[in-house]
Amino acid sequence: MVQRDGGRSQPAQEPSPSPVIAFAHVSFARRTGLLRRRRSLFDSLSFTIQAGEAVGVLLPAGAGKTDLVKLATGHITPSFGAVSVLGHSPATEAAVLTGRVGAIVNEHSHLWLDVPLGDSLTMLSRYLDIPEPKAGARRSSLVERLELTRVLKTPVGDLTPGQRRRAELVAALLPDPEVLILDEPTRGMDAASQERLRSVLRQENRLNGRTLLVASSELSDVESLCPRLLVGVDGRIGFDGDVSALTELIGTERVLVVDLLRPIEPLDNLPGAQLIGVETGGLRQRLALIPGRVTTAKVLAEVVSRAPVRNLTLEEPDLSEMVRRLAL
């Protein structure tokens, strides 16, 4: 297709696609304390997310992470500005978005706590008007993928924190939504459960094209899921890029603490890592991960292949310190 301009043919510019999620100059203040004073959390917060993107939003504890998710899901409304999801206001057009947006929101659950998980998911399917047998097939598939088959007869309120979080993700995915909005999706999980859930989310984004918005106060919670990272600074977006660019910008590094079953030679030649300390007679070694060289997962795999590992711990840079540096 071409446009005519003064007798010359010029290629028509394709219109920019509408964002799936948009925050436009959003301000929000929460009333706190006995005197119900207003505490400002966001001040002209603006960002957009396109279809199929996986975007992580990092906010320090107490900086409004859950409130951001509630704004995106319509549980609260902004004091100023506008929030749009799939072209609709989540606060005033919730019915239009039902089934199109799945969410995990702290303090809110899609499931009935005193009802066995299997029955609770069946009730949710009926509430969402998902026809059988499609609903049954989808429930079975999601429960199997998130390894919850053994606890289908357990009341939701009796599930472990990790099982409960995975059950909430099943509920969020049940209607086959276009968008997933997640508040600390791996909270309360051990390392194995975290990776299981992250694997499912990666598949949903990369294979099924679901748009992800993941809000967290932990860098590791979003790094393996989200190629794009937003960092909130003083109520606004202070950084928009990838993890490598962030660490290069503010000079932070993560440290991998390797606890061994027996002492070995120093791990001083691992690609993407630098040995910074050997402790307890060689039973503990500390490796600084070099930003931008290789992924954390590859470093972990290399360590496990070379050493008799008892435990691995990843020490993250302090998010509050990262935000302070970005604000300078």
What residues does each domain of the chain span?
21-112+176-241, 253-327
Indicate the average pLDDT of the chain.
Answer: 84
Q: Are 117 and 152 in contact (CB under 8 A)?
A: yes
Which pLDDT score is estimated for 188?
81
Burial of 43 (0-12, 13-18, 19+ CB in 10 A): middle
Give tens-digit pLDDT for 184-234. 998 888 877 888 888 999 999 999 999 999 998 877 778 788 989 898 887
Give tens-digit pLDDT for 260-298. 999 888 888 888 888 888 988 889 999 888 766 677 778
* Cα–Cα distance measured from residue 148 to residue 141, given in angstroms and rounded to the nearest whole number: 10
Average pLDDT over residues 77-85: 93
* Cα–Cα distance measured from residue 326 to residue 320, given in angstroms and rounded to the nearest whole number: 10
Instruction: Write out the H or E segment, with its range, that includes residue 183.
Output: strand 179-183
Give tens-digit pLDDT for 98-149. 999 999 998 788 899 999 999 999 999 999 999 988 899 999 999 999 999 9
Question: How would you list the strands of the sheet with 273-279, edge to edge?
Answer: 273-279, 284-289, 254-260, 309-315
Which pLDDT score is estimated for 204?
94
Q: Are 35 and 196 in contact (CB under 8 A)?
A: no
Which pLDDT score is estimated for 38?
56
Which pLDDT score is estimated for 6?
43
Please give the CATH superfamily to which domain 21-112+176-241 belongs: P-loop containing nucleotide triphosphate hydrolases (3.40.50.300)
